Amino acid sequence: MSRSSKKALSTADTRRMTAAEIIKKKFTKEKLHRFIFGTREKQGVGKQLVVYALLICIGFVYLYPVLYMISTSFMSRNDLLDTSVKWLPSKLYLQNFIDAAKAMDYVSSFEKGILIAGLPTLCNVVICMMVGYGFARYKFPLKNLWFAMVVLVIVIPPSTIQSSLYLNFRYFDIFGIFSLITGQPLNLLDSFAPYAFMCLGCMGLKNGLYIYMLRQFFRGIPKELEEAAYVDGCGKVKTFVRIMLPDAKPMITSCFLFSFVWQWTDSFYSGMFLPNYSILANKVARLSEVLNSYVKATTGLDKASTAYASAMIGTGTLLVIIPLIIVYLFAQKGFVESLSQSGIKM
């Protein structure tokens, strides 16, 4: 074989080897890219690690205050002042819960809180179901304008209408009729009448959100179900009760859960409408004042230490949260189902 032919063969082998290396390198890069970023069908490991890292960071930010509050609620005064005790107390100290319950008058406040949170919640859910169904299925004048007002109610904070609500229910009158009959307007404060009027007028706490959620859910139910019920002889009321409400149970459960939580922790409306009616949310806000009196009576000190006051407020907050956790455990199935079934349709 001549020298020129040998040289040509070596050049061809070199080209083939270079092409093979290029293909191998490209394949490795594509494989690495798929491994990190994934494909349309499968998520890559790199993306999963980033998502999990973000979830862990966000979870830590939210859970850290709760875990710290739980930890300090089981610490004695010595543990609170001991710098070597960080998270785990030297022993479980349940006296904080007993003292906080006594300072908050827990049993009496709990019963009143159930009444204040339960009745408005039921009224809100019933009224919002009917209004949401009306927005979803019926046509009436200025429908879009009224629904825009509903959405606007979600955005406007209640504090902006505080003075008007107070004056309206403090000097309640309808076209001067009560002033004409009794000589003065009615004072509806310190009663459940403001809650009743606000629920009937869809002005309850966060009612705009519940109407929006239910309206979107009812819009997602096929109209053929209602048409079939009409063919079978059902009226509009019977169709709503027998067909629509059973399908909307998960969303109704979510609205009930949201409403109960907001009513249970509300100190705005309850403090304005029922100033002499003590509930747990107001008791927690005033716990530091009661705690100073308690410490002065038991120890002779002028006020409680900052660490002890913080621990007691955290303990009182846990006593308020525990009933909400129990309610959520019962409503968990419907709440999760509503999240999976609800769709936003505009």
Q: Contacts for 332-335 with beta carbons within 8 Å, 24 or more apart?
A: 334/249, 334/250, 334/252, 334/253, 334/254, 335/250, 335/253, 335/254, 335/257
- Does pLDDT of 14 surpass 70? no
**273 or 345, higher pLDDT:** 273
| 30-42 per-position pLDDT tens digit | 666 666 666 666 6
Query: Measured between alpha carbons, how far is 186 from 59 in angstroms, rounded to an integer?
Result: 50
> What's the pLDDT at 342?
55
Residues comprising the chain, all counted: 346
- Assigned superfamily of 105-285: MetI-like (1.10.3720.10)
> What's the pLDDT at 4?
53
The whole-number average pLDDT for the span 97-105 is 84
Among 3-12, 113-122, 266-275, the minimum mean pLDDT is found in 3-12
pTM of the entire predicted model = 0.74
> For the purposes of burial, counting CB atoms within 10 Å of the CB of 113, is it exposed (0-12), middle (13-18) or buried (19 or more)?
buried
**Residue 106, C-beta contacts closer than 8 angstroms, at least 6 positions apart:** 100, 280, 319
| 174-206 per-position pLDDT tens digit | 877 878 888 888 888 888 888 888 877 766 667
Q: Are 133 and 220 in contact (CB under 8 A)?
A: no
Query: Measured between alpha carbons, how far is 230 from 243 in angstroms, rounded to an integer?
Result: 11
The whole-number average pLDDT for the span 138-160 is 83
The domain limits of the chain are 3-64, 105-285
Q: Output the six-digit token pair for 118.
A: 């339960």
Band of pLDDT at residue 7, cut at 50, 70 and 90: very low
Q: Output the six-digit token pair for 277.
A: 């009616």
Q: Are 77 and 308 in contact (CB under 8 A)?
A: yes
